[in-house]
Structure 1
Amino acid sequence: MPKLIAILVYDKVQILDVTGPAAVFAAANDACSSPHYDVRIVSTGGGPVKSGSAAVLMSDPLTEVAPDEVDVLLVAGGDEEALLGLAGQPDLRSWMEQAHRRAARFGSVCTGALLLARLGLLAGRKVATHWSACAWLSEHFPEVQVDADALYVEDGSIWTSAGVTTGIDMCLAMVERDLGAAAANRIAERLVLYARRPGYQSQFSPMLRLQSRAGAPFSELLEWMAAHLDQPLDVPQLAARMAMSERSFYRRFTEAAGETPARMVETLRLDRARELLATPASLKQIAAQSGFGTAARLSKAFERRFGVSPLLFRETHRRAGERKA
């Protein structure tokens, strides 16, 4: 029998928190000889539900989905007032508690974790949520361990993700657990994803952070640098690209980005290296693709920044995944 996936929605829900995971499971079905997942969009009353982006979703009422038949339950994020208001509905509370006891996987996308916490279903658990809600969740529910940096967190049967697109990463990890890495990679290719991101990767992209802070005229340069990490990216080359003197470029870039050019190049290269460590690529290949040149130079920079070697980092997260399997 296909696994029953229930995604809870409500008025002003974030539509990508719903359609992203749903698209992953639908693509998984297309990759199988027979459907592996049965995705149901559910709400308290059923019928049309208006998302925060004005698009309308059709949903099934909770009364038509038996909570003891749900294999995976995800609460989508969205308008926090509307989301937390659901906790005051006795029928929904009862349904959620029953589904929580039955479901092999139970969790949320983005701010959906706030509802789970309000219902008392995350006590003692480590969770992820959108960066904007981390402080609030920690303050109001100190019994919940909030990982403010992770893209998604798996703690036993509880799966929670950070903002919006990270729901896709989390659901791809679920599919990998069920159908294998090859199937998950094919789905990522079908969805035209730039890369499959592991849960431990920060939801604060160094590129976005630097682009946001640096602004014009350096945002386009940062994008170019990220696409050419395997090339020399020293001050003379970067200054020439910006048609500035080396001295002027160094001063203006450091003021705008809050980092020296060399530090920022290393940050981008290390971020790329961490992505590649989630793949079967050798350390030599990773060093070449991320711009470090040699495995020795990569290891030295990685240990200086993160306190562990690249191989130990890879092995630690591989073993963590195996323990959760």
Structure 2
Amino acid sequence: MHHVAFIVYPGFELLDVSGPASVFNGANRARRQRGKPAFYKVVLASAHGGVIESSSGIALETRPIADLRAVEAQTVLVAGAEREPLLQAVADAALWAALPHLAGKAERFGSVCTGGFVLAALGLLDGRRVATHWDSCKPFAKTFPNVAVDPEALYVVDGKLWTSAGVTTGIDMALAMITRDLDASIAGEVAKRLVLYARRPGYQSQFSPVLKAQVKGDSPFAELIGWMQSNLDAPLDVPSLAARAGLSERSFHRKFVAATGETPARFVEIARLDAARMLLSRGLSLKSVAAEVGLFPPARLAEAFERRFGVAPRLFRDMHAEL
């Protein structure tokens, strides 16, 4: 069996552990349904063992990290937390003594959400590319200048280092691990069983412009944004959008920027390119993608896509298309 060791500490984020753990359990269930033995075994460890309370008040029984053998920690993942619990974890001598050794012996190691702060403080992320919660990207980069923080990715795989962004992205990363360890069909079954809206690839932005806009519950453009997402191939210029919103062009532009933080043109381009990225990952042709997201002809899509993502859409499709 493949042992996945979650490293927790007082005040950790419960979903950083329970989400991925449920994914690994789902993979075991899918294998048993195929007449195969379970593949994953989840192990919980902390600095000194015993009952560790999460930030939500729910506590988990753990083993002392020093007692873990390498065979019980083939994958090592550090859970995230808010600032104060993280600082206490970083200062824990037992973690300093055991975690670098475990990470060095593991087949892969990493973190969920802000758990990367613990690894970075131990010097385990120097020269590496990582993901973390969107709200922690700037402080992470400032505190650890030798670590390359990717503010866009849901999760990042850098050799045997796996790091995920905010909270639920640990589920996406666990599904990717299952795909690599077993196969994509099992990962798909797990995602379906957990009623996930989609299996999100690591390169997908963890905080889309649409989500940013909809975070404000009183946004006057929530309905318009939803319509835009479903009609990316329609004319989405300021005159058309202003008319749909029942505002003058000048008033619409001003209020839209105030509500979303982006100009209408910039917002539309980002939404179209995010959609294009997802469609390309499904292996669709550039021509069909360009038409579907309103960036036709394909040359227009290619220019905008490469400007934002730094890679040609055709190459991106070849690298990421789901087979």
Same fold (TM over 0.5): yes
CA contact (8 A) 1:75 1:109 kept: yes
Q: Is the 8 A contact 1:214 1:256 kept in 2?
A: no
Match status 1:217 vs 2:197: no
Q: Which moved more, 1:208-217 or 1:9-18?
A: 208-217
Q: 1:252 to 1:28 in 2, by over 3 A?
A: same
Residues 166-209 of structure 1: per-residue CA shift (max 9 Å, x gap): 11121111111111222222222222222222222332311122
State the distance in 1 between where 2:87 and 2:193 align: 35
Q: Which residue of 2 aligns with 1:195?
A: 198
Name the amino acid aligned to 2:5: A
CA distance in 1, matches of 2:174, 2:82: 22
- Equivalent residue of 2:4, what SS? strand
Which residue pairs with 2:315 in the alignment?
Answer: 312
Does residue 158 in structure 1 map to residue 157 in structure 2? no
Are the equivalent residues in 1 in contact too, given 2:137–2:151 (CA < 8 A)? yes
Is residue 28 of structure 1 aligned with residue 27 of structure 2? yes
Once the two structures are superposed, what CA deviation does each residue of 1:246-272 show, in whole Å capped at 9, x if it has no partner? 554345334543444343222211111
Secondary structure in structure 2 of the residue aligned to 1:111: helix
Normalising by structure 2, report the TM-score.
Answer: 0.86
Name the counterpart of 1:100. 103
Q: Is the 8 A contact 2:213 2:219 kept in 1?
A: no
Structure 1 residues 305 and 131: alpha-carbon distance in aligned structure 2, compared to 1, 3 A threshold: closer
CA deviation vs aligned residue, 1:45-85 (integer Å, no higher than 9, x gap): 33432211223333333355324531100000003332332
Matched residue, 1:138: 141
Change (3 A) 1:231 1:53: farther
Q: Partners of 1:53 and 1:217 in 2: how far apart?
A: 33
* Structure 1 counterpart of 2:62, from 56, 59, 62: 59
Mapping for residues 51-130 of structure 1, pairs under 5 Å: 51-62=54-65, 64-130=67-133
Structure 1 position 137, deviation (Å): 2.7
**CA RMSD of superposed structures (Å):** 2.8
Cα distance between partner residues in 1 of 2:23 and 2:118: 23
Q: Distance in 1 between matches of 2:127 and 2:278?
A: 29
2:207 alignment partner, one of 194, 198, 204: 204
Distance 1:118 1:179 in 2: 32
Pick which of 128-137 and 98-107 moved more.
128-137
Q: How many residues align?
A: 318
Q: Distance in 2 between matches of 1:261 and 1:214?
A: 19
Q: 1:87 to 1:267 in 2, by over 3 A?
A: closer
CA contact (8 A) 2:48 2:94 kept: no
| Separation (CA, whole Å) in 2 of partners of 1:41 and 1:227 | 43
Asked if the contact 1:67–1:95 (Cα under 8 Å) also holds between the matched residues in 2, the reply is no
CA distance in 2 between partners of 1:24 and 1:190 (Å): 9
Partner of 2:13: 14
Structure 2 residue matching 1:209: 3-state secondary structure: helix
The offset of 1:26, in angstroms, is: 1.2
2:176 corresponding residue in structure 1: 173
Change (3 A) 1:299 1:37: same
**Structure 2 CA distance for aligned equivalents of residues 293 and 135 of structure 1:** 36
Closer, same or farther: CA 224–191 of 1 in aligned 2, 3 Å:
farther
Whole-angstrom distance in 1 between the partners of 2:127 and 2:237 = 47
Q: Identity of counterpart residues, as a percentage?
A: 53
TM-score w.r.t. the length of structure 1 is 0.85
Letter in 1 for 2:115: G
Amino acid across the alignment from 1:98: H
Contact 1:150 1:200 in 2 (8 A): yes
Partner in structure 2 of residue 261 of structure 1: 264
How far apart, CA to CA, are the structure 2 residues paired with 1:89 and 1:304? 44
Offset from partner CA, 1:97-142 (integer Å, 9 cap, x none): 2211211110101111111112222222222222332333333332
